[in-house]
Structure formats: C-alpha cells, structure tokens
C-alpha cells in the first residue's frame, strides 16, 4: 500500500485570500493560476495495514515532524482515512525542490502530492475533480495543483462544487515564472492563519467586488496569449491582496526590503527598457516575474545582479500530478 507522486506548485494570477466557509475552505472568490513544472514536491506514502506503526510518521525535507508541526498533515491523513474507511497509520516522506513556507505555494504542491499518493496507495478510484475537493480542505491552493497548465478554481458553494478545472494545457502558452528569492526563511504567519484575518481588513469587500472583472480579463488574456493584457491585472491583484494583508488586524507585512527592490527593478525594466515583464507576489516576501520564454534569460541575468536576490528559480507551465514508479523509501 505504497505510492509516490510529484506535484507542481502554482502561481496564482488572480489570488485566493480569505474564506467564505472556514470549515470547508470555500474561498471568497474564484482564482486562476499556472501550474509550475520546475517547482515541485515529491511525496511517498505507505499505509501500514499490519498495524505495526503506532502513529503516523512524517518526514518533510529531512526533518521528522512531531506535535503541532505535524498536526495539519495528520488531520489530512485522518480525512483520507475516514473517506476510505480505514484506520491504517501512514509513513510519509516528502521533498520539495524549492524553499518551503516562503511564498511559493509549497502547501499547494505538498498537499496535492500527498493527496494523490495517499489515495493511490489506498486504491481509491477518485477522479481529479474529486481529488481537487479533497486537497482543498487541507490547502485551498492545492485544489489548483491537481491540474496542469492554466487552472481556475471555482468558488462554488459546497464541498463538491468548490473545485478546480483546467482552462488550458501547459503547452498552450510559453510563459515563464522567474522567481526572485529574497528570503528562504519560513514566514512567521502562515497563509492558513492569514486567510482567517482577511475578514478584519476594511479592503476585503472592495477587492472581492473587483475580482469578477479581473477574472474575465485574465481568462481572455490566457485564451489569446496576450501578456500586455494579463500583466497589469497580475500586478493590480497582487497589490490589492497585500493591501488586505497589511490592513488586517493584526497587520501582515510579508514584504522585505528585497521585495520592494525587485518590484522597482521590474517596473524600471518594463517602463525604461521596454522588457515585457510583470510581477506578482504570493503570501510571502519573494517575487514572481511573469514573462514569455524568450525574455526569461534576460530577466534571470538582471535578477542575479540585484544584491537582494539570493536565488533565482525559473519555471515553465507544468503538468498535473504524476504518479512515479520510484519511491523515496
């Protein structure tokens, strides 16, 4: 009863921030993302049907989690056990090829990989839409990582209707996400905690009202492969989301000095040098620069020249989760 899965992270073009239903993790609005081929998590899950394991064993990037750090993963394993009608404990080993908990949606790839591997090991016949709903309960953005390419997560109104679907396959548009890592440290306040604070911001309602028009523009931009249409909305929505964070109670300020340096640099490269590049930022300090494939080498070179940038990761659009023949243990 063992299976392994590799799932890509994703970068949201229209963000998910705040929940309409905290128990089911139903969001305030739809969101749209691009699944990443080159920022991913690989997870092996083995269910102990013999009853030898007294508790779940969870190792993430070489560190065994116990107590509170393991609680969120154990809760998801409990959810899967209840759905499958089993009581087996699990051994979980997971590795990511990018910094965790730093604003690169590690929970998206992590819980997508965990969900697919765990369900495959149990022999559950659930399809991608059902797995999207299951993964959503652990991490909202994980619902989108159940599909490759360009993905929309429908807000929905119930557990079964709040699911993601693929808009376009990964080969539809040769976009690149060039990620400027200005801090690899885990953020002090997790995204899951931050979502609960969104309701305290006076700007949450205004942002949510604007999102319907932004979604329509992003859908059209993706369909037409139009970066000049997509880019301004990327920046607008990212700044609106961080405006909500900064005005919640307590306030969340994920940005570091390096974040601001990259934002100013990206705008200067576009406005002064004519480079077609636009920024977006998830819940963290690191900046995602979205451009087309032919521009990416120039952006990478310029980012590496900035003193604040510690690492650069570039990713293509990627596939949905892939079951692997080789296991981590």
Q: Tens of pLDDT along 225-256? A: 999 999 999 999 999 999 999 999 999 999 99
- pLDDT given for residue 260 in this prediction: 98
Question: Omega before 250 cis (within 30°)?
Answer: yes
Task: Indicate whether 324 belongs to any domain.
Answer: no
pLDDT surpasses 80 at 72? yes
Query: Across residues 91-98, what is the average pLDDT?
Result: 97
Positive or negative CA dihedral for 158, 76, 181, 283?
Answer: positive
Based on the fold, state whether residues 156 and 42 are members of the same structural domain: yes
Query: Across residues 170-190, what is the average pLDDT?
Result: 94
- pLDDT given for residue 149 in this prediction: 98
Mean pLDDT of the chain: 96
Based on the fold, state whether residues 150 and 212 are members of the same structural domain: no
For residues 243 and 207, the answer to whether their CB atoms sit within 8 Å is yes
CATH number of the domain where residue 189 is located = 3.30.70.890
pLDDT surpasses 90 at 81? yes
Task: Indicate whether 322 belongs to any domain.
Answer: no
pLDDT surpasses 90 at 187? no
> Among residues 105, 135, 169, which one ends one of the domains?
169
- CA dihedral of residues 102, 108, 111, 113 (deg, nearest 10): -110
Based on the fold, state whether residues 109 and 250 are members of the same structural domain: no
pLDDT surpasses 80 at 101? no
* Neighbouring residues of 151: CB distance < 8 A, sequence distance ≥ 6: 10, 32, 33, 34, 35, 144, 164, 165, 166, 167
Residue-range definition of the domain harbouring residue 273:
175-315
pTM: 0.96
User: Distance between CA atoms of 14 and 260, rounded to whole angstroms?
Assistant: 20
Based on the fold, state whether residues 153 and 181 are members of the same structural domain: no
Based on the fold, state whether residues 145 and 250 are members of the same structural domain: no
Task: Indicate whether 162 belongs to any domain.
Answer: yes
Based on the fold, state whether residues 181 and 163 are members of the same structural domain: no
Based on the fold, state whether residues 59 and 110 are members of the same structural domain: yes
> Among residues 169, 202, 229, which one ends one of the domains?
169
- pLDDT given for residue 6 in this prediction: 98
* Collapsed DSSP state (helix, strand, coil) of residue 162: coil
Based on the fold, state whether residues 6 and 113 are members of the same structural domain: yes
Task: Indicate whether 52 belongs to any domain.
Answer: yes
Intra-chain end-to-end CA distance of the chain, in Å:
13
Based on the fold, state whether residues 153 and 241 are members of the same structural domain: no
Please tell me the total count of domains within the chain.
2
Task: Indicate whether 254 belongs to any domain.
Answer: yes
Half-sphere exposure of 231 (CA within 13 A, CB side): 19
Task: Indicate whether 47 belongs to any domain.
Answer: yes
CATH number of the domain where residue 110 is located = 3.30.230.10
Based on the fold, state whether residues 198 and 304 are members of the same structural domain: yes
> Among residues 169, 202, 237, which one ends one of the domains?
169
pLDDT surpasses 80 at 150? yes
Based on the fold, state whether residues 153 and 256 are members of the same structural domain: no
61 vs 186, higher pLDDT: 61
For residue 205, what pLDDT band results from cuts at 50, 70 and 90? very high
- pLDDT given for residue 104 in this prediction: 84
User: Distance between CA atoms of 29 and 127, rounded to whole angstroms?
Assistant: 24
For residue 103, what pLDDT band results from cuts at 50, 70 and 90? confident
Please provide residue 314's backbone torsions phi and psi, each rounded to the nearest 5 degrees: -115, 130
Residues forming beta bridges with residue 151, ordered by sequence position: 33, 166
pLDDT surpasses 90 at 10? yes
Which residue is associated with the tokens 């885990």? 186
- pLDDT given for residue 175 in this prediction: 98
pLDDT surpasses 80 at 102? no
Based on the fold, state whether residues 214 and 311 are members of the same structural domain: yes
For residue 139, what pLDDT band results from cuts at 50, 70 and 90? very high
């Amino acid at each position: 009863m063992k299976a392994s899965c590799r799932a890509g992270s994703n970068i949201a073009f229209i963000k998910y921030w705040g929940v309409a239903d905290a128990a089911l993790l139903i969001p305030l609005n739809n969101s749209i993302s691009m699944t990443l081929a080159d920022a991913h998590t690989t997870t092996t899950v083995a269910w102990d049907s013999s009853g030898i394991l007294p508790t779940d064993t969870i190792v993430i990037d070489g560190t065994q989690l116990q107590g509170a750090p393991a609680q969120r993963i154990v809760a998801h394993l409990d959810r899967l056990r209840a759905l499958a009608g089993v009581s087996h404990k699990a051994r979980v080993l997971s590795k990511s090829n990018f910094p965790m908990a730093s604003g690169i949606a590690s929970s998206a790839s992590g819980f997508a990989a965990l969900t697919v591997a765990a369900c495959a090991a149990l022999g559950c016949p659930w399809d991608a839409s059902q797995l999207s709903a299951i993964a959503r309960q652990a991490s909202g953005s994980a619902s989108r990582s159940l599909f490759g390419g360009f993905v929309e997560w429908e807000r929905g109104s119930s557990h079964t209707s709040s699911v993601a679907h693929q808009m376009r396959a990964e080969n539809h548009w040769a976009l690149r996400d060039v990620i400027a890592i200005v801090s690899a440290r885990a953020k002090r306040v997790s995204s899951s905690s931050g979502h609960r604070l969104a309701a305290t911001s006076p700007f949450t309602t205004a942002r949510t009202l604007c999102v319907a028009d932004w979604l329509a523009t992003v859908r059209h931009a993706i369909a037409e492969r139009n970066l000049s249409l997509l880019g301004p909305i990327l920046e607008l929505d990212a700044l609106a989301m961080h405006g909500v964070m900064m005005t919640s109670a307590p306030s969340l300020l994920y940005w570091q000095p390096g974040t601001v340096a990259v934002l100013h640099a990206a705008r200067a490269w576009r406005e002064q040098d004519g480079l077609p590049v636009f920024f977006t930022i998830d819940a963290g300090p690191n900046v995602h620069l979205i451009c087309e494939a032919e521009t990416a080498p120039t952006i990478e070179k310029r980012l590496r020249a900035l003193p604040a940038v510690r690492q650069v990761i570039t990713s293509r659009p990627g596939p949905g989760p892939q079951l692997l023949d080789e296991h981590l243990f």
